[in-house]
Structure 1
Amino acid sequence: MFIPSGPLQGQHVLLEPLQREHTAALQQAVTDGEGWKLWYASVPEPAAMPEYVERAMLGAEQGNLAYAVRSLASGEIVGCTRYYDVDTVNRRALIGYTWYADAARRTPINTESKLLLLGHLFENAGAIAVEFRTHFFNQASRAAIERLGAKQDGVLRSHQILADGSIRDTVVYSIIASEWPAVKNNLLSRLAR
């Protein structure tokens, strides 16, 4: 497998490979903020969480690794994130399907989660690029991706039909291996503040 599996731990978060046992905690976490009500976000409703976890676990068999995000301060599961569309031949992957409980937002959790995921991808898996995608209207997500140091590659217009029938324009960002040292320094600096 291109990306080694296993937990990733920092000072603030533990990224645990997603298991069925995380389902109830994720159902609880997603109720904090009710992210599924944002029409431009892909956050599962609590009732849909068992299927969400099952699909993520099936994806892991193809190298698309999903993680439950545990806050080390509280011990609680506060969200979810994953590598997906993993391209072993070209040593690329996307990071996404990321959502957090409201209590985890504006904390070091997302910054450190991205530091762990990116570091693992570039330093342990030898990736040449990572990609992020988000809805054109998801300004919070776009700002967070840009704060990482990712560069916008473009917009895939009329890219996807969403569950409500609306058509999504997808903004594509990337970080390439040569940019990783500067991105890493940026993330470490942000965590130190």
Structure 2
Amino acid sequence: MTWTPVTLEGRLVRLEPLNREHLRGLVEATEDGRMWERWYTSIPSPDGMAAAIEQRLTWQQDGFMLPFTTVRRSDGAVLGMTTFYDPHWAVPRVSVGHTWTRASAHGTGTNAESKLLLMTHAFEELGCQCVRYETSWANQQSRTAIEHLGARLDGVLRGDRRESNGALRDTVVYSVLAHEWPSVKAGLEARVARR
């Protein structure tokens, strides 16, 4: 099995396959809240955005990643990026991550709907048995958001990698399994419906 670029559309957001034409919108999105200054994230700086896009497109060609640009449907504003990555087709399992959203969109339901779209595609179209999420132990905002999705804690990989500032990172791993998906989906749909 391989990745097939696809557009996923909800009520609040549209996840478009990442392309070079998204550069300007992604730069504007990262400047909203100066997202790249958060040491515990790997959000590209405005100057590094073109290289980040090229890296993700290379990973897509290599079969490691399927990157998306998150676009708000109400006004067409680019909100950020998200991806499927690290597929294990023998399970099958995919990871969702490399996600960031402009600061002014936090708490608006767009991230919850993005994850609803991604997990619906993973479980219902790709036939995945597991969707995995990883984040830094230091990124409490991300950990809380993942837990609110309905993902369950699998464990902590201590000293797993380096943060952008060189600090040793503990990686927190979460997952949703196929048999849990119906209740997780219902919870996400209810959250999005309130927006």
Where 1:16 maps in the other structure, the secondary structure is strand
Q: Shift in Å at residue 63 of structure 1?
A: 5.0
Structure-2 residue corresponding to 1:9: 9
Unaligned runs of 5+ in 2: none
Q: Does the 8 Å CA contact 2:22/2:69 hold for their aligned counterparts? A: yes
Q: Does the 8 Å CA contact 2:41/2:164 hold for their aligned counterparts? A: no
Amino acid at match of 1:44: P
What is the alpha-carbon distance in structure 1 between the residues aligned to residue 180 and residue 164 of structure 2? 36
Where 1:65 maps in the other structure, the secondary structure is strand
Structure-1 residue corresponding to 2:41: 41
Q: Shift in Å at residue 52 of structure 1?
A: 0.4
TM-score between the two structures when normalised by the length of structure 1:
0.97
Amino acid at match of 2:99: T
Amino acid at match of 1:58: T
What is the alpha-carbon distance in structure 1 between the residues aligned to residue 14 and residue 44 of structure 2? 21
TM-score between the two structures when normalised by the length of structure 2:
0.96
Amino acid at match of 2:188: L
Q: Are 2:90 and 1:89 aligned?
A: yes
Amino acid at match of 2:111: N
Amino acid at match of 2:5: S
Q: Shift in Å at residue 2 of structure 1?
A: 4.2
Structure-2 residue corresponding to 1:70: 71
Q: Are 2:59 and 1:56 aligned?
A: no
Superposed CA RMSD: 1.0
Q: Are 2:147 and 1:146 aligned?
A: yes
What is the alpha-carbon distance in structure 1 between the residues aligned to residue 58 and residue 4 of structure 2? 16
Q: Shift in Å at residue 24 of structure 1?
A: 1.3
Q: Does the 8 Å CA contact 2:16/2:68 hold for their aligned counterparts? A: yes
Q: Give the fraction of aligned pairs with identical amino acids, expressed as a percent.
A: 42
Q: Does the 8 Å CA contact 1:4/1:124 hold for their aligned counterparts? A: no
Partner deviation per Cα, 1:128-187 (whole Å, 9 max, x = no partner): 101000000111100000000000000000000223211000000000000000000000
Q: Are 2:16 and 1:30 aligned?
A: no
What is the alpha-carbon distance in structure 2 between the residues aligned to residue 82 and residue 49 of structure 1? 15
Where 1:14 maps in the other structure, the secondary structure is strand
Structure-1 residue corresponding to 2:104: 103
Where 1:21 maps in the other structure, the secondary structure is helix
Structure-1 residue corresponding to 2:190: 189
Where 2:65 maps in the other structure, the secondary structure is coil
What is the alpha-carbon distance in structure 2 between the residues aligned to residue 13 and residue 174 of structure 1? 23
Structure-1 residue corresponding to 2:168: 167
Q: Shift in Å at residue 86 of structure 1?
A: 1.3
Q: Does the 8 Å CA contact 1:3/1:124 hold for their aligned counterparts? A: no
What is the alpha-carbon distance in structure 2 between the residues aligned to residue 168 and residue 178 of structure 1? 31
Unaligned runs of 5+ in 1: none
Q: Does the 8 Å CA contact 1:128/1:177 hold for their aligned counterparts? A: yes
Amino acid at match of 2:54: E
Q: Are 2:130 and 1:129 aligned?
A: yes
What is the alpha-carbon distance in structure 1 between the residues aligned to residue 168 and residue 24 of structure 2? 31
